[in-house]
Amino acid sequence: MPLMNSLFYSRQEKHYANGLAGISNEIGLTAYKTVLDAGCGTGALCSVLKGYLKSKE
């Protein structure tokens, strides 16, 4: 089961990263923006946003 969870998480990260790449210029995310992920999921979106915003510093 841990392998299955890991694969699901990786797939989510890839999905969110692709989506973010498509809209990042439109929404104007910078390293100095605050993002609140108020969901109750795996945290994959937060992981992708953290990596994206770190690269903008």
> What are the pLDDT digits (tens) for 22-57?
888 888 877 776 777 787 788 898 889 888 888 877
- Residue 1: what pLDDT? 56
- Residue 6: what pLDDT? 84
Q: Is the pTM of this model over 0.75?
A: no
Q: Name the residue among 52, 49, 25 with its Cα closest to residue 35.
A: 49
Residue that the structure tokens 């109750």 belong to = 40
- Residue 15: what pLDDT? 94
- Residue 26: what pLDDT? 86
- Residue 13: what pLDDT? 93
The 10 Å CB-count burial string (b at 16+, else e) for 5-30 is eeeeeeebbeebbeebeeeeeeeebe
